[in-house]
Structure 1
Amino acid sequence: MIRMLLRVLGDQYAGPVRRTVALMTTTAVVEGLSYALLVPVLRELFGSDPGNARPWLIAFGTAVAVYAALRYISDLVGFRAGTTLLRGTYHRLGDHLARLPMGWYGSDRVGEVSVLASRGVLEAMSVIAHLLAPFVAASVTPLMIVVVMLVFNWKLGLAALMAVPLVAAIQSWTGRAMAAADAERHERDQLATGRVIEYLQAQPVLRTGGRTTERFDMLDDSLRGIQRASRRSALSALPGVVGLTLTVQATFTVLLAMGAYLALGGNIGTPEVLAILVLAARCAEPLLSLADIGGRLRGARAQLTRLDALLRTEPLPEPSAPIQPRRYDLEFDAVAFLHGDRLVIDDLTLTVPQGQKVAIVGPSGAGKSTLLQLLARFHEVSKGAVRVGGVDVRDIDTSTLMAQIAVVFQKVYLFDGTIEDNIRLGRPDATDAEIRAAATAARLDEVIERLPGGWNADVGEGGTLLSGGERQRVSIARALLKNAPIVLLDEVTSALDPVNEAAIHHGIERLMAGRTVVTVAHRVHTVRTADRVVFLDHGRIAEEGTHHDLLDRGGRYADFWDISTTRPRAVGDAARREHADRA
């Protein structure tokens, strides 16, 4: 388990963890050996002159004081190490999650990552702070007491030693018996977490349907599943707890009977028997605690296993010799992309010259947004290559690639903080004047003026205190501040009111000026102002050309245009004839 812990934490924490374990082991050894002084203490107290016990009492007190000091230091070191490792684990987990491909973040990952990043990390890192010292003490101290027994009376010591393999076997059997129940409990927890999130997200739909007082059946089922899994887990642990208790009590009874028999036969003195029984009683407490500590350690180990599996998930590889692109033209070279078993992009070849604006249109599921994600290397292509400035994106360092690209998504996420904080994410070293200029260009200044608090107004988690259009303006201001030479736009004006749409179009025009732009759009204004339109269908380019040329052809794009603009086909034909007459 320590090896797995070190693997999860990384090499930089190996030294502190090993030193902490060594200190805890030393403390447990000192505790066990200190009990050896009980034998001469009791022998002298029950002898002819009890005063002779004084030096042994002083020695015993000194040993206990040394143990107490070591225990205090080891507990303090363990707690400090635990908090340090907890912080380090969160940083490592966050860095790793940021490097994983976007395709890894499926819908089933929400509950998994939520449980693992909260309770999972805390439970795993509690090993050092709270579990390791009691476990080492419960394992090492009884062994040292058995060694002391062997030294003073090998028969009683051998009888006590026979309990060691029994205790180990019970612990091992209990761990195997509970493994399946623990795994089921984790799966139920993960499912329930996802259902709770889904239930909260579904509130608008439930309330619109007048079902606010009804229970959410899938959530209820998942909670009942947790209840059943918890019951099975408790029942799985019960035989081990009972077996361990019976073993410890039986061993103590055997030692008591053997001690009485040896004392009556004159083979051992009464003080020695009493000392051995005191030592045996001292063994009982830590051994009985192994059941509880073992269960908690198994839970921590399970979380460590999941953390280890997550941290072993391969991130997008970084180039060993990164290349800096000198141009900003874009190219898809025979690109194919598989999402699971589904072919999303199929042998697609497309070039976007530097400074050109290309609009990607097509039906839902055609792969439009996937093209933008492949350009930003959110996914790795299955075949072919995506190039920026003639350089394969796989040969460009991720930070360098992202510095060249500004992305404005359809769904904007804002971090809990002020508007200025969220804009500054585009370029953290920007001056206040540059931030305000970007806000003005995105028509965000008029939003700020009417917000209570102005620039210091809090946007709420996810930007919930702003409207969709206002969040989109913040996103555009952030992209303007970044001032990247390549701009990727993903349906940024979808479902906006006319006022916000007009303001956002103004910001987009400022954002696209002089840059290489790829935009996924259906809106008339965006498509008409593009230098080239690419119609995508089933991951392939069905048509390509200017907006007016594609309308003149009367093909797939023209049909799609008529439908998307809610005009009858006859009106579309008239518009194309009028365009031909003007030409």
Structure 2
Amino acid sequence: MIRILKRLFRLMSQYKGRLYLGIALSMISNILGIVPIICGVWTIKLILDDSNGAAVLEPVYVLQLTTIILGSVLLRWLFAYIRATRQDSIAHEVTCAERLKIGDILKRVSLGFLQRKNMGEFTTAITTDLAFFEMQTMNVVNNIIDSYIFLAITIIWLLCFSPFLGGAALLAVAISTAGLQLIERQSRKNSPIRQESINEMADEIVQYVRGMAVVKSFKQEGVASDGLYRAYHKSKEINIKMERNFAPCDALHRLGLYMGTMAITCITALLALQGEMELYMAIMLIVYSYIMFNTIESANNSLHILEMLDTVAEKLQSIEDAEFIDKDGKDVSINQYDIEFKDVSFGYDSREVLSHISFRIPQNTTTAIVGPSGSGKTTICSLLARFYDAQNGEIQVGGHNVREFTCDSLLKNISMVFQNVYLFHDSIRNNILFGKPDASEEEIIAAAKAARCHDFIMALPDGYNTVVGEGGSTLSGGEKQRISIARAMLKNAPIVILDEATASIDPENEHLIQQAIGNLTHGKTIIVIAHRLATIESADQILVIDEGKVVQRGTHQQLVSQNGLYKRFISIREQAEGWAIG
């Protein structure tokens, strides 16, 4: 428990002043919490003394005791208010900071790290896990700290009255603590398993929803939902097993608390019967023992939640420990934009994709990359943008190794237009603004006009304020592609990568997109992956990739005169099975 509290406090270390203030106020509040009980018991003493003629119960005494009780209650309310306003927002602030931090981390790690994790893990971390952290952390921490401060004050108070009473309370706490340690051990063992099952459920749900169109079209709802049902069933079994494992430990913990209450009641009754303790004092101690152990029981019920918070914190830490791909990078500025691959090799896990490739792309020229599907064309572009790092060799941009750059300083020089365009669930204006967040309205419209998308945007009900569905689901493929070109045009980077930008586009949209691409690429260094002859035949250089190697290079005229892969591709054009040029 202490280990987990330390971890949570480290997460909230930026706000330690406010945390310590809350603990101090809690300590004072707990001391003040004893005052009404003492006053109540003192009132009983006065009533008993008055009834047996030992003293007269004066109204002034009742007024004084009532004033003291009211004062202590008001002070506790004031301290609770100060604590709530100063401390309770910490979890919300930490959660916001963690979400922003994770967003920055995901931007700076390699795509390999993202692919090693499943989508459900990131989804639950940023949404469910952090929402749980946000809602539970301060409640649980405050509950546990309050209760154990109350326990410490109570035991000290009992020891002052009677070593027997204090000893009984300590023995009960020791038995209860043994049960708690067993609970903590079980939680530490089972919480990661439970968290993994939650991640699996989230991943299955994401896949099921994203694949719904395929599921419906092939009428495979039952088959598609099998994985979802298995994940649900597995989660149920894990949770049931955890509860069964907790039951004996929880019973031991509660037994210690109940034994403590019984022991204090018996000892107090014996002392009162033997005349060693006044009746009013015995009543106070018995009542207080019930309050004390009920408070501890309530706090210890939070231990399950505390363990779950520990698992969340551990999961967040595993994401934050991810190695930045640009950890040694600097803010490099360049004024020339030639590109060079020197003996570059790369593979995914054990599969080699690129093998010792070398080529140079001079500034302000166009290079087309051609090859069969899976030959490594897109991987070349991914390495240039440093989505991954090459395992061997060197990639240079403007005479600098890409490893010298931070991701931001490298990517500010590169615009990318992909075949599969992703638009965010936001307005068209904001989707275009991704290219240049501080762009003016005039710049946005100019980019949209150059990308041949202004007219269809203005035809929409809300124009540039029209909100598109996630991924751009409310727009056609050609419309999404032109918006992505407008985004790249607004960025106005000196290097442009076009990865199958006109694939799967109808002829009308292709004509508009080709015009937009012409505006985008004017006077820039271009890498184009495409399968249409019209797109590649005018390139200054064509690289033919096969099985991760550059097997041919040259202009269109040079390559068609050679008896190689490129000539065979041209001869069968787009009918060749398995070809995707780029």
Q: When the two structures are superposed, what TM-score results if normalisation uses the length of structure 1? A: 0.91
Change (3 A) 1:18 1:457: same
What pairs with 1:103-142 in structure 2 (closer than 5 Å)? 103-106=112-115, 108-142=117-151
What are the superposed Cα offsets for residues 59-97 of structure 1, whole Å, 9 maximum, x if unpaired? 444334323322232234332222222222222222222
**Which of residues 400, 405, 428 in structure 2 aligns to 1:391?**
400
Asked if structure 2 preserves the Cα contact closer than 8 Å seen for 1:79 and 1:128, the reply is no
Change (3 A) 1:96 1:46: farther
**Which of residues 410, 421, 431 in structure 1 aligns to 2:419?**
410
**Which of residues 5, 8, 14 in structure 2 aligns to 1:5?**
8
Identity in percent: 28
Aligned to 2:55: 49
Shift in Å, 1:148: 0.8
Shift in Å, 1:447: 2.1
SS of 1:534 mapped into structure 2: strand
How many positions carry a matched residue from both structures?
A: 567
What are the superposed Cα offsets for residues 338-366 of structure 1, whole Å, 9 maximum, x if unpaired? 32233222222221100111111212222
Aligned to 2:312: 303
Aligned to 1:325: 334
Aligned to 2:580: none
For residues 314 and 32 of structure 2, the distance between their equivalents in structure 1, rounded to whole angstroms, comes to 33
**Which of residues 220, 229, 250 in structure 2 aligns to 1:211?**
220
2:482 equivalent to 1:473: yes
Shift in Å, 1:37: 5.6
Aligned to 1:571: none
Give structure 1 stretches of 5+ with no counterpart.
569-583
For residues 196 and 317 of structure 1, the distance between their equivalents in structure 2, rounded to whole angstroms, comes to 33
2:368 equivalent to 1:359: yes
Shift in Å, 1:418: 2.5
Aligned to 2:523: 514
**Which of residues 282, 301, 304 in structure 2 aligns to 1:292?**
301
Change (3 A) 1:67 1:455: closer
For residues 55 and 552 of structure 2, the distance between their equivalents in structure 1, rounded to whole angstroms, comes to 109
Aligned to 1:574: none
SS of 2:526 mapped into structure 1: strand
What pairs with 1:41-80 in structure 2 (closer than 5 Å)? 41-47=43-49, 48-49=54-55, 51=57, 54=62, 55=64, 58-80=67-89
What are the superposed Cα offsets for residues 483-509 of structure 1, whole Å, 9 maximum, x if unpaired? 111101111111111111111111111
**Which of residues 94, 97, 104 in structure 1 aligns to 2:106?**
97
2:152 equivalent to 1:143: yes
Asked if structure 2 preserves the Cα contact closer than 8 Å seen for 1:410 and 1:492, the reply is yes
2:468 equivalent to 1:462: no
What pairs with 1:410-429 in structure 2 (closer than 5 Å)? 410-429=419-438
For residues 92 and 301 of structure 1, the distance between their equivalents in structure 2, rounded to whole angstroms, comes to 19
2:356 equivalent to 1:347: yes
Change (3 A) 1:4 1:559: farther
Aligned to 1:173: 182
**Which of residues 4, 16, 19 in structure 1 aligns to 2:18?**
16
Change (3 A) 1:33 1:361: farther
What are the superposed Cα offsets for residues 181-214 of structure 1, whole Å, 9 maximum, x if unpaired? 3222211111111111111122221221133577
For residues 532 and 155 of structure 1, the distance between their equivalents in structure 2, rounded to whole angstroms, comes to 93
**Which of residues 223, 235, 245 in structure 2 aligns to 1:236?**
245
Change (3 A) 1:29 1:339: farther
Aligned to 2:33: 31
For residues 72 and 86 of structure 1, the distance between their equivalents in structure 2, rounded to whole angstroms, comes to 22
What are the superposed Cα offsets for residues 280-318 of structure 1, whole Å, 9 maximum, x if unpaired? 011122121134211111111110111111112122234
What pairs with 1:478-517 in structure 2 (closer than 5 Å)? 478-517=487-526
For residues 416 and 172 of structure 2, the distance between their equivalents in structure 1, rounded to whole angstroms, comes to 66
For residues 32 and 362 of structure 1, the distance between their equivalents in structure 2, rounded to whole angstroms, comes to 81
For residues 207 and 65 of structure 1, the distance between their equivalents in structure 2, rounded to whole angstroms, comes to 63
Change (3 A) 1:152 1:202: same
SS of 2:301 mapped into structure 1: helix
SS of 1:355 mapped into structure 2: coil
1:548 maps to amino acid: Q
Shift in Å, 1:412: 1.0
SS of 1:452 mapped into structure 2: coil
Shift in Å, 1:475: 0.5
2:547 equivalent to 1:538: yes
Change (3 A) 1:353 1:224: same
Asked if structure 2 preserves the Cα contact closer than 8 Å seen for 1:366 and 1:539, the reply is yes
For residues 224 and 184 of structure 1, the distance between their equivalents in structure 2, rounded to whole angstroms, comes to 14
1:51 maps to amino acid: L
Change (3 A) 1:455 1:259: closer
SS of 1:331 mapped into structure 2: strand
What are the superposed Cα offsets for residues 223-270 of structure 1, whole Å, 9 maximum, x if unpaired? 111111121122223223322222211211111111222222222222
SS of 2:380 mapped into structure 1: helix
For residues 539 and 15 of structure 1, the distance between their equivalents in structure 2, rounded to whole angstroms, comes to 57
Give structure 2 stretches of 5+ with no counterpart.
578-582
Asked if structure 2 preserves the Cα contact closer than 8 Å seen for 1:32 and 1:144, the reply is no
Provide the aligned C-alpha RMSD in A: 2.4
2:33 maps to amino acid: E
1:46 maps to amino acid: L
Asked if structure 2 preserves the Cα contact closer than 8 Å seen for 1:362 and 1:535, the reply is yes
SS of 1:131 mapped into structure 2: helix
